[in-house]
Structure 1
Amino acid sequence: MYESFYGLSKKPFQITTDPSFLWMGKKHREALSTLKYGVMDNKGFLLLTGEVGTGKTTLINRLVEDVHGKAYTAKIPDPGLSKYDFYRMVSRYFGLPIEVRTKSDFIEPFSRFLNDAHEEKKSVLLLIDEAQRLKHDLMEEIRLLSNLERQDAKLLNIFFVGQNEFNSILLLPENRALMRRITITYNIDPLDQAETCAYIRHRLKTAGADYEIFSGAAMEAVFEFSKGYPRQINIICDLAMFFSSQVSRRTISRKIVDQCRERISFSVEELPVESSHSQRVPAPKTYYQPIKRERWPWFTAAHALYAAVVLLVLGSGVYFAPVSLKDRAGRWVREIYQTYFPVSGKPAATEQPVVNAATSGNSESEAVVSDTSRQAVRTPPAVERLLPMPNRPPDLDIPQTLDDLPRASAPAAQRAVHAESPAAAVTTSVAEPPDPADAIDWLLNKRKQEPSQ
């Protein structure tokens, strides 16, 4: 955006970790040489720490570039992984054609890979960035990987790169076994003011600048803002070059840097001191509110769906059932209903015809009784066992008073009884007054004569 204004080939203060912009000051040269020696001599565990923005990632990228061709390298950018995900990522970055499902799926091929690399006289470097995110169980798995070694040489170099709090993690009692295996450690400190100025000039020269773009006062202001952290230096210098190009000034002054600081810094206002005149209002009280219970809390949409499915299955079964089964079911329901709920004015299905012994000799009466018994509907045995129905008593036409009874002499009544039923013998006295029992017998005999007539 502003490269052509300053005559640059590319932006000098990108936040990306470009190894070509690595400024090799005294600290960085010492760190790079120490770490390169640890990798090439197979020292095992290495550790590089520093605050955020001190250039750790840029330094290890330069290290990987320098050992290229002399070592197999794999970089884990984020170690916040599970055990098997970590094994899968390591095998993929080293180019191992394996599928990791168990620990043995990884250990055996990885051990062969380490031995083959040793035969080729190449080192194997495993870089773990952001090491402060490691969990204890994964740290133990990484420590056990260092056991893949020979009696005369280490086969795997593990390089931890993390912030300063990773040192505190290593000092925990559960991590002391890993801490004692670390052979080389290095900590990158922020730059001082002289190193900050040299850092700015180096990046500008690498980008193609042919004159001093930042004044001495501007670089001093940059150091006051960044405290010597390279990432903060890149942020404020990039913004200062953009604002200076907008106002067409090829040299950046302290005033422009101060204006950029106002746009980057966070303004945190201090809270006023609480006094008797500015006391906080107490929080409002919360009152109890009864819980609103639903009418059928157990009846959910799932229950409704299940009920609909059951009804659909039952309805389909009834619809597709055989016709004979439907008829049998209908007859059974009809018989049950007629048994317990007979129609008024008609005898129930269990009613049997009344046959009197006095008319059993009459052939015509027997024919009527047999026809009636054949036409009667028999109650199913299951219904008779559940609730047997009693026979219906005969209807009697009883006179209202004794005066309504027919008068007949004793010999005439006796002859009538003997004529209708020779087996019946009625003994009455002519002199006695008529007995009500004789009147009832007379009525019964009269009803028996009516069907025969």
Structure 2
Amino acid sequence: MFLDFYKLRDQPFGVTPDPRYLYFSPGHREALASMFYGIETGRGFLSLVAEPGMGKTTLLFQLLQRWKGYVHSAFLFQTQCDSRELIRYLLDDLGIENKGEDIVRMHSELNEFLFRETKVGRRVVVFIDEAQNLSDAVLETVRLLSDFEAPDKKLLQIILAGQPALAQRLARPSLVQLRQRIAVQARLDPLPFDETVRYVQHRLKVAGYQGPELFTREALELIAKRSRGIPRLINNLCFNALSLGCAMRMRQIDAGVAKEAAEDLSTGFEVAGPAVSQQGAAPPVARNARSSRKSLYSRVRENFRRRHLLQTTIFLVAIGSLGIFLGTRIRPATAQPSAVLPVDSASSVPARGLEPRSEQQARSVSSGVLSPKAPQTRAGESSIRTFTYVIQPTDTLQDLCMSMVGRYDSKVLSEIRRLNPNLKDLDHLHVGQEIQLPMSWAK
């Protein structure tokens, strides 16, 4: 998922109405303020009209959050219903027990509930989402709910939220009485380009993004155009663009990636070009578009293949290195015949007072610090078997050579230097340091 790749804490372009991600464009702020004022002053009916995906539900939740603790609310989504079902849904959401009585009895129970809430100082607010789906008969039932009132105030506040079709429905002559009762009419318009940019940046910031601009200006222009400024479509385009960008390992989303995301979502992106000839040949521009599309997908597939090959190679190298390491550090040494290298026997006399070679080598083998190495060949010489030794607290190079190699002279030191090119000072060995030593030579 692209969250780790782009260092995001949350999903910035989700599909749920999360109030944290609500972007207050000038239109959203105005609509929220209008409805808040309408509830505060007890205006009765309010309406909120917007295109699908403009954030009506999120805005209503935000409004409800601001009145939390001061209102008793009901949120109705089931708008494909008749009048009886609507009243029953309302009673259930308000917590009023009902046994499916006739509609007159349910109205009476609702009226009693509203008076009780008013006496304790709580407003009752009903949110009806997707209200454009209500039939004329049900809308008339909703209008009758406004008759619940005291001499000085309305007992019930109703907010009708819906798509532009709701405004068209309310404009019908048959619903003139309901339309006249709507005191506040709020509307959410699509976001212009500048607000689209701020919207995307706002959501990325809430999600924890702290890097450079994630979308180029050209990409944002294309997203604004293809989404028509509708936040839900902006979210879908940005989500697909980030997914594609992550697959291509692109740290910044450019216009090409945004264009591909728009085509994938079929948001009306069309490539202009000449008409198709009578032979049915594809227009050159359309062919180029398909070629570009195919090329982009090919880049994604090639990227995945390269990543897979790289990961496989690293894994195999790691396994091989681990095997070599365990073989050299854990596997006990085995006695093997030593290769013979011509040396000067006169310089190979052991120093006095040193422990015999066989005893100290046996102790080193039993302590697990001696590990044989594969034979190594030196130009002009016979192959020499080596082993890895881990320096112990009381070790000196002379003692090691005498006890394990059998001699300590210039040729032995020269061979040790060749086997340990990184060992700069033979007189200063450190505890825990690994050193390569030749196995015993013939004297």
TM-score when scaled to structure 2? 0.60
Please state if 1:261 is matched with 2:262: yes
Q: Tell me the residue number matched to 1:95.
A: 95
Q: In 2, distance between residues paired with 1:234 and 1:168?
A: 28
Q: In 2, distance between residues paired with 1:267 and 1:23?
A: 26
3-state SS, counterpart of residue 187 of structure 1: strand
Please state if 1:20 is matched with 2:20: yes
8 A Cα contact 1:43 1:183, kept in partner: yes
8 A Cα contact 2:262 2:269, kept in partner: no
8 A Cα contact 2:128 2:160, kept in partner: yes
Q: 1:268 to 1:27 in 2, by over 3 A?
A: closer
User: Matches of residues 381-392 of structure 1 in structure 2 within 5 Å?
Assistant: none
3-state SS, counterpart of residue 150 of structure 2: coil
The one-letter code of the counterpart of 1:247 is: M
Q: In 1, distance between residues paired with 2:159 and 2:263?
A: 39
The structural deviation recorded for 1:223 is 0.7
Q: In 2, distance between residues paired with 1:268 and 1:111?
A: 56
3-state SS, counterpart of residue 14 of structure 2: coil
Q: Tell me the residue number matched to 2:216.
A: 215
Q: Tell me the residue number matched to 1:29.
A: 29
3-state SS, counterpart of residue 213 of structure 1: coil
Q: 1:268 to 1:101 in 2, by over 3 A?
A: farther
Q: In 1, distance between residues paired with 2:28 and 2:270?
A: 35
Q: In 2, distance between residues paired with 1:18 and 1:122?
A: 26
- Point out the more displaced range, 56-65 or 180-189: 56-65
The one-letter code of the counterpart of 2:251 is: R
Q: Tell me the residue number matched to 1:188.
A: 188
The structural deviation recorded for 1:40 is 2.2
3-state SS, counterpart of residue 62 of structure 1: helix
The one-letter code of the counterpart of 2:238 is: C
- Point out the more displaced range, 208-217 or 189-198: 208-217
Q: Tell me the residue number matched to 1:249.
A: 250
User: Matches of residues 341-352 of structure 1 in structure 2 within 5 Å?
Assistant: none
3-state SS, counterpart of residue 13 of structure 1: coil
The one-letter code of the counterpart of 2:175 is: N
The one-letter code of the counterpart of 1:148 is: F
Q: Tell me the residue number matched to 1:416.
A: none
8 A Cα contact 1:128 1:158, kept in partner: yes
3-state SS, counterpart of residue 262 of structure 2: helix
Q: In 1, distance between residues paired with 2:158 and 2:255?
A: 45
8 A Cα contact 2:18 2:58, kept in partner: yes
3-state SS, counterpart of residue 99 of structure 1: coil
8 A Cα contact 2:54 2:188, kept in partner: yes
Q: Tell me the residue number matched to 1:73.
A: 73
The structural deviation recorded for 1:151 is 0.6
Please state if 1:42 is matched with 2:38: no
The one-letter code of the counterpart of 1:245 is: C
The one-letter code of the counterpart of 1:226 is: S
8 A Cα contact 1:44 1:146, kept in partner: yes
Number of aligned positions between the proteins: 277
**Off by >3 Å, runs of 4+ in structure 1:** 266-270
The structural deviation recorded for 1:101 is 2.1
Q: In 2, distance between residues paired with 1:159 and 1:100?
A: 25
5+ residue gaps in structure 1? Answer: 274-453
8 A Cα contact 1:84 1:100, kept in partner: no
Q: Tell me the residue number matched to 1:240.
A: 241
The structural deviation recorded for 1:269 is 11
The structural deviation recorded for 1:141 is 1.0
The structural deviation recorded for 1:209 is 0.3
The structural deviation recorded for 1:105 is 2.3
The structural deviation recorded for 1:268 is 8.1
TM-score when scaled to structure 1? 0.58
Q: Larger Rg: 1 or 2?
A: 1
Give per-residue Cα distances to partners, 1:194-248, cap 9 Å, x unaligned. Answer: 0000000000000000022112221111111111111110000000011111111
5+ residue gaps in structure 2? Answer: 276-443
Q: 1:269 to 1:222 in 2, by over 3 A?
A: closer
Q: In 1, distance between residues paired with 2:269 and 2:10?
A: 33
Q: In 1, distance between residues paired with 2:109 and 2:252?
A: 59
8 A Cα contact 2:125 2:158, kept in partner: yes
Q: In 1, distance between residues paired with 2:27 and 2:153?
A: 30
User: Matches of residues 139-288 of structure 1 in structure 2 within 5 Å?
Assistant: 139-211=139-211, 212-265=213-266
8 A Cα contact 2:149 2:156, kept in partner: yes
The one-letter code of the counterpart of 2:223 is: V
- Point out the more displaced range, 110-119 or 192-201: 110-119
8 A Cα contact 2:23 2:202, kept in partner: yes
Q: 1:43 to 1:194 in 2, by over 3 A?
A: same
The structural deviation recorded for 1:129 is 0.7
8 A Cα contact 2:27 2:187, kept in partner: no
Q: How large is the Cα RMSD of the aligned pairs?
A: 2.4
3-state SS, counterpart of residue 229 of structure 2: coil
8 A Cα contact 1:84 1:101, kept in partner: no
3-state SS, counterpart of residue 48 of structure 1: strand
8 A Cα contact 1:54 1:231, kept in partner: yes
The one-letter code of the counterpart of 2:60 is: I
Give per-residue Cα distances to partners, 1:314-371, cap 9 Å, x unaligned. Answer: xxxxxxxxxxxxxxxxxxxxxxxxxxxxxxxxxxxxxxxxxxxxxxxxxxxxxxxxxx
Q: In 2, distance between residues paired with 1:174 and 1:194?
A: 41
3-state SS, counterpart of residue 180 of structure 1: helix
User: Matches of residues 104-119 of structure 1 in structure 2 within 5 Å?
Assistant: 104-119=104-119
Q: In 1, distance between residues paired with 2:31 and 2:173?
A: 28
8 A Cα contact 1:51 1:163, kept in partner: yes
